[in-house]
Amino acid sequence: MNRENIEKTLLKQIAFFSILIVIVLLLGVLYYHYFEGLPFVDAFFFTAITISTVGYTMPENLSETGRLFTSFLIFLGVSVVLYGVSTVTAIIVEGKLSNYMKERRNRKMISKLKDHIIVVGAGKTGQYVIGELIREKENFVIIDLNEENINKVVEGYNISIPYIVGDAAEEDILLEAGVTKAKALITTLPEDHVNVFVVLSARTLNPTMTIISKVTDVASIRKLIYAGATTVVAAAEIAGTRMARLTTRPDSVNFLDLFAFGNESYRIEEVKIPPKSSIISKKLSELQLSKKFKIMVVAALRKGENIFGPDGDFEILEDDSLMIMGRKEDIEKFKEFAKL
């Protein structure tokens, strides 16, 4: 039960409790006035002390029916008060207990993370990043100052997503997110100067991790690189270039979009050849990848050098990385085959 739901439920119960009290008061006042002949003020006073069990003196000449009604009114008043107090208390306790269990579960998930990704910012850009990481089944944790942003993202998926509400520029927050055990950090904050501080703090705590930063002003790219960013992504520049190319080369852009943004089953993925793989020292022509797996090798990365369009005589070596194009399930089959 989140804070908003607790407040709504609490207000509803208080309103319902108040209505019950008013009904009991009206019942007592009307009876004592019309059936016992008490003035309205005296009837209200006697009703109030009756349902509150103060134990004041009874009116003179109170009939036997009036005594029975007074007894009934005492039980009714006490029951209503107990119901109201217990209900309100239960809502408050339940909300606090729920929040405590939620925070405890969240901390436990974060403590178990290793080789994960830290996503800083759950805004518009961050939501796309998180969506892609979920599709790729990556382990990650979200950091954002605004708890509402996090709640919107978390509630949008039927999975448990670990998160931290805090300033990612502070080292304590990054350490809580497991920055020393993380393999990458992606900062998507709209303010470039804040991204610089996040990158600088993360690089200080983990010198080997991959750090990707969003930048709004291209003039800040150099600052982010100096701070330790591995790659800087200028969202405006990418969007503008893509829009222009959609008018000049729409077919090629749409074809690439199929792998980048379109059908989730198609993709271009980097596959690193593991040690002692069965395909080491084999040529691409021997593997017949297009026939067996329906995939295509579009490039290879060897010792920092990119080799585009390797031919059939290309021999695969240990620690090579192949850029594979094809369906997700076919790439996964090749990965399993390459591990043998």
Q: Please list the pLDDT of the chain residue by residue as tens digits (340 residues).
A: 555 566 677 778 888 888 988 998 999 899 888 888 888 888 888 888 888 777 666 777 788 888 888 888 888 888 888 888 787 777 667 666 666 677 888 889 999 999 999 999 998 899 989 988 988 889 999 999 988 888 888 887 878 889 999 999 999 999 999 999 999 999 999 999 999 999 999 999 999 999 999 999 888 999 999 999 999 999 877 778 878 878 888 877 676 666 665 555 677 888 888 888 888 888 889 888 888 888 889 899 888 888 888 888 999 988 888 998 888 888 888 888 887 5
Half-sphere exposure of 91 (CA within 13 A, CB side): 18
Backbone phi, psi, residue 311, to 5°: -85, -175
Pairing of strands 231-234, 210-215: parallel
Q: Give the residue range(s) of CATH 1.10.287.70 domains in the chain.
A: 3-94
**243-297: per-residue pLDDT in tens?**
887 888 887 767 666 666 555 567 788 888 888 888 888 888 988 888 888 888 9
113-237 topology per CATH: Rossmann fold (3.40.50)
Helix, strand or coil, per DSSP, at residue 122: coil
Rg (CA), the chain: 34
Is-contact 53 77, C-beta < 8 A?
Answer: yes
In sequence order, what are the residues at sequence separation of 6 or more whose Cβ sits closer than 8 angstroms to the Cβ of residue 35? 63, 65, 66
Question: Which residue has 């792998």 as its token pair?
Answer: 259
Distance CA 39, CA 29 (A): 9
Q: How many residues comprise the chain?
A: 340
Structure-token pair, residue 332: 């996964």
Is-contact 139 147, C-beta < 8 A?
Answer: no
**62-91: per-residue pLDDT in tens?**
888 888 888 888 888 888 888 887 877 776
Q: Give the residue range(s) of CATH 3.30.70.1450 domains in the chain.
A: 266-338
Structure-token pair, residue 267: 């993709």
Helix, strand or coil, per DSSP, at residue 109: helix
Q: Which residues pair with 270 in a beta bridge?
A: 323
CB burial readout 143-174, b (16+ within 10 A) else e: bbbeeebbbebbeeeeeebbbbebbbbeeebb
Tell which CATH classification among 3.30.70.1450, 3.90.230.10, 3.40.190.10, 3.20.20.70 matches the domain 266-338.
3.30.70.1450
DSSP codes joined into one string, 14-35: HHHHHHHHHHHHHHHHHHHHHT
- Is domain 3-94 given the CATH code 3.40.50.850 in the classification? no
pTM for the complete prediction? 0.62
Position 80 scores a pLDDT of 86
Question: Which residue has 């003020």 as its token pair?
Answer: 41
Please report which residue ranges of the chain form alpha helices under DSSP H.
3-34, 40-51, 64-112, 124-135, 147-155, 171-176, 192-205, 221-227, 235-248, 250-260, 284-287, 289-292, 328-339
